[in-house]
Structure 1
Amino acid sequence: MSIISFPQAFNEEDLYIDLRSIFGRALFLKCEGFNFAGSIKLKAAIEMVEAAERDGVLKPKSILVESSSGNLGVALSVIAASKGYQFLCVTDLRCNLSTKLLMEALGSQVHIITEPDEGGGFLGARLAYVQQLCASDERYVWLNQYTNPHNWKAHYHSTAPAIAHQFPNLDVLFVGAGTTGTLMGCARYFRQRHWPVQIIAIDNVGSVTFGGRRAAG
């Protein structure tokens, strides 16, 4: 029996779906959506928040602020509610209504960017708004998932070791490439241990990360 005191203390690491009946070869899907935040982003959120607390950047009267399309925003909402922080999620029109309502139900504020940046996308506009907030009030603490090393360290310390434990003869690892935190954490873990694992990054067709043109929406 597992007993926890805080919602962020629970992460299901050992659940996989065997897809051999569909693809005809050994392919396993790691399930990361059964924690209280509903996604793998809870790991990065925990690591970044705890690092900010250790460094003295995040204090009791601080206001957490982050740019997120949804999943990290929910994860930070869960943690903020548990730890007693205020949290403001800066998102855009692509954030679905159920995600917005969930963050608000957890006590977070949600600011939606409606005007794209000069390049026609929303990410730049979101980041500019976060930077303006931080410049206007020192209480705001921006974890910055895009450059924060604790994003990838979360997966170096948890996701990658869990996979390595379950699949000691792993040949190929497919990893979604959003902020690349999961990707980099896993890649560094296996590279440093000289495991002959091929890491394949996955993203949507037209991904800016892979050199695609930025979409207007």
Structure 2
Amino acid sequence: MPIISEAQEYHEEDLFVDLRRTFGRRLFLKCEGFNFAGSIKLKAARAMVEAAEASGVLRPGSILVESSSGNLGVALSILAASKGYTFVCVTDNRCNLATKQLIESVGGTVYTVTEPAAEGGFLGARLRLVRELCESDERYVWLNQYANPNNALAHYRSTAPAIAARFPDLKVAFIGAGTTGTLMGCARYFKEKRPDVTVVAVDAVGSVTFGGPSLPRMIPGLGTGVRPPLLDRSYIDDVVHVAEAETIRACRRLAGRGFLFGGSTGTVISGALRWLDEHAPGEELTTVAIAPDLGDRYLDSVYHQGWVEEIYGSAALADAFERPEEVAMMSGTGGAR
């Protein structure tokens, strides 16, 4: 094991879960939640902060401010604590309590937007508040994860190469779309270095990222109310939209096997399984999906029966813990080989 001096120096890059016993498909899950920020966002946060420091934009006395549904806020709060900056996270009421407490525990401040903007929903309202803060005091520095090229560059340099090195026979990569930093970094890498790999973006129903109608979404992570400037559709081969009830079922089915992952992971896996059933029924393609975080921050939502039933109805809990062989029969794969 490594010896580190700063929290941001550790990130487990080479951990994958084989999901064949759970879902009956040759689908491997890249686990990005094993670091002190608990998510893949530590990579983007570190890349953006270090670039801002190198350019002189971020300097002693600066106040970091960012709009986040949760995970980037935690990552930036840890970096700020390590480097001696003040940090302000602007989120909305979908951000879970545990995430807010984590940010505050390491010295960050959380502003919670409670009303969506007429244009752009909650994200639009968050961005408006960030701009107001920046206009009020020149010490504020907004890294802007939605447009910052270093967000994507972090994954071009690390996430995608790690997948490619582990799976030389990779055929399909399934990547969730939030800010699209992970998506664009990985998609660009595969198009340039491994053009034989099909890149499938997985988004939430209700997100406007790929042109769909804006609808209410309750699970933080994937999806946006404002199209991310980082997105370049030309690098992406296909898009799958997943309803939140499907996200719940995938998460809880994984939990039935002892794997507790976050909501974004359930969305990506659900989208991946649907895409494979439609485009590669019965085939044994080597495929990878990315799990941005773990499930401990979702205990009061995705994994809380009362919360799920109140918002999505009891149907969202149906067949959540099917036996793997039953899942294999339903997917038409005949089980893992």
- TM-score when normalising by structure 2: 0.63
Q: Equivalent residue for 1:179?
A: 179
CA positional deviation for 1:172: 0.2
Measured in 2, the distance between the counterparts of 1:67 and 1:120 equals 13
Question: Which residue pairs with 2:112 in the alignment?
Answer: 112
Aligned-residue offset at 1:120: 6.7
| In structure 2, C-alpha distance between the alignment counterparts of 1:127 and 1:120, rounded to whole Å | 9
| Larger RCO of the pair (alpha carbons < 8 Å, separation 6+) | 2
Give the 4+ runs in structure 1 shifted more than 3 A.
Answer: none
Alpha-carbon offset, residue 197 of structure 1: 0.3
Distance in 1 between residues matched to 2:216 and 2:93, nearest whole Å:
11
| Matching residue of 2:214 | 214
2:136 matched residue in structure 1: 136
Matches within 5 A, 1:5-154: 5-119=5-119, 121-154=121-154
SS at match of 2:59: coil
**Separation (CA, whole Å) in 2 of partners of 1:214 and 1:205:** 8
Q: Is the 8 A contact 1:116 1:216 kept in 2?
A: no
Letter in 2 for 1:86: T
Say whether the 8 Å CA contact 2:64–2:85 is kept in structure 1.
yes
Whether the aligned pair in 2 keeps the contact of 1:18 and 1:27 (CA below 8 Å) is yes
Q: Is contact 1:120–1:216 with CA below 8 Å preserved after alignment? A: no
Tell me the amino acid that sits aligned with residue 119 of structure 1.
E
Q: Distance in 2 between matches of 1:56 and 1:173?
A: 36
Look up the SS of the partner of 1:146 in the other structure: coil
5+ long unaligned stretches in structure 1? none
Could you tell me whether the CA contact under 8 Å between 2:205 and 2:215 is conserved in 1? no
Q: Would the aligned equivalents of 1:172 and 1:199 in 2 still touch at CA under 8 Å?
A: yes
Structure with larger Rg: 2
Deviation track 1:13-33 (CA, whole Å, cap 9, x = no partner) reads 111000112333321000011
Unaligned runs of 5+ in 2: 218-337
How many corresponding residue pairs?
A: 217
**What are the superposed Cα offsets for residues 100-133 of structure 1, whole Å, 9 maximum, x if unpaired?**
1110001000001112111371111111111111
RMSD, aligned α-carbons: 1.2
What percent of counterpart residues are identical? 69
Is the Cα–Cα contact under 8 Å of residues 73 and 89 in structure 1 kept in the other structure?
yes
Which residue is 1:191 aligned to?
Answer: 191
CA contact (8 A) 1:92 1:113 kept: yes
TM-score, normalisation: structure 1? 0.96
Return the letter of the residue paired with 1:106. Answer: V
Note the alpha carbon deviations across 1:168-191, whole angstroms, 9 max, x for none: 111000001001101100111111
| Offset of residue 151 of structure 1 | 0.4
1:85–1:2 distance in 2 versus 1, CA, 3 Å: same
| Superimposed CA distance per residue, residues 176-209 of structure 1 (whole angstroms, 9 cap, x where no aligned partner) | 1001101100111111124300000012122211
